[in-house]
């Protein structure tokens, strides 16, 4: 009699344990409150948009990861740093690509730099933060920046010439994918 009553309880306990295990595994699969962004572009407008989204997301309590690759990479160079020992291609990329946030141009209506200068003065007039200021703010808000090693190598950039950003990691696609897979939002800019 007693045994017969115990059986359903045993069954229930088994089911409960199974559900608990399933819930745990679902919990591990749920994405974090995080945004992962690929910053592929190196132009003022696009980089500015990336930083506006990054700082806005951080303000909303999200963890933010920015992965700078290809044309985005030179934006992270420090204008006050220079390194020697580059080959011809490295020197060429170094000269032709913008050196840091202050040197980026508009993707449209640059007009030999005139458009960019006008946009910058307009931004100042309208109180819109510059890319430099946005990057400082991002650092302050704990936005993480990843730099693509492959792009660095391709364009001949060295770690010694990059900015001293507080949360800076050199990595490859796997690190970005790990972050992106665990994020609610992924963007390519």
Partner 1 sequence: MSDEIKVDKHMDLKGLPCPMPVVKVSKGIKEVELGQVIEAVTTDPGSLTDFPAWARTSGNEILKSEQDGETIRFYIKRTA
Binding site for partner 1 (CB under 8 A): 52, 55-56, 58-61, 126-129, 137, 141
**The residue to which tokens 């290809």 are assigned:** 70
Minimum CB separation from partner 1 for residue 17, in Å? 33
Question: Closest CB to partner 1 among 54 and 152?
Answer: 54
Minimum CB separation from partner 1 for residue 80, in Å? 27
Minimum CB separation from partner 1 for residue 67, in Å? 20
Question: Closest CB to partner 1 among 3 and 127?
Answer: 127
Q: Are strands 144-148 and 32-39 parallel, antiparallel or unpaired?
A: unpaired
Minimum CB separation from partner 1 for residue 144, in Å? 17
CA-to-CA distance for 105 and 86, rounded, in angstroms? 25
Question: Closest CB to partner 1 among 73 and 183?
Answer: 183
CA atoms within 13 A on the CB side of 126: 8
Question: Closest CB to partner 1 among 142 and 172?
Answer: 142
Tell me how many degrees the CA angle 164-59-37 measures, rounded to the nearest 5.
60
Minimum CB separation from partner 1 for residue 130, in Å? 12
Alpha-carbon distances, residue 154 vs 68, 74, 150, 180 (angstroms) = 14, 12, 6, 24
Q: Are strands 32-39 and 63-68 parallel, antiparallel or unpaired?
A: parallel
Measured in whole angstroms, the distance separating CA 108 from the mean position of its chain's CA atoms is 23
Question: Closest CB to partner 1 among 76 and 138?
Answer: 138
């Amino acid at each position: 009699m007693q045994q017969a009553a115990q059986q359903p309880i045993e069954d229930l306990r088994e089911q409960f344990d199974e559900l608990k295990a399933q819930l745990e595994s679902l919990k591990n699969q749920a994405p974090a409150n995080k945004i992962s962004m690929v910053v592929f572009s190196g132009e003022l407008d696009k980089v500015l948009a990336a930083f506006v989204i990054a700082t806005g997301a951080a303000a909303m309590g999200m963890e933010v990861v920015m992965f700078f690759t290809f044309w985005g990479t030179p934006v992270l160079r420090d204008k006050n740093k220079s390194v020697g020992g580059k080959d011809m291609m490295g020197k060429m990329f170094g000269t032709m690509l913008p050196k840091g946030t202050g040197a980026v141009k508009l993707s449209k209506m640059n007009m030999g730099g005139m458009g960019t200068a006008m946009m910058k003065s307009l931004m100042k007039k309208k109180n819109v933060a510059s890319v430099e200021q946005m990057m400082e703010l991002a650092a302050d808000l704990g936005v993480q920046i990843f730099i693509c090693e492959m792009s660095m190598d391709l364009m001949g950039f060295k770690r010694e010439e990059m900015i001293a950003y507080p949360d800076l990691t050199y990595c490859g696609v796997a690190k970005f994918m790990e972050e992106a897979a665990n994020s609610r939002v992924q963007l390519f800019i």
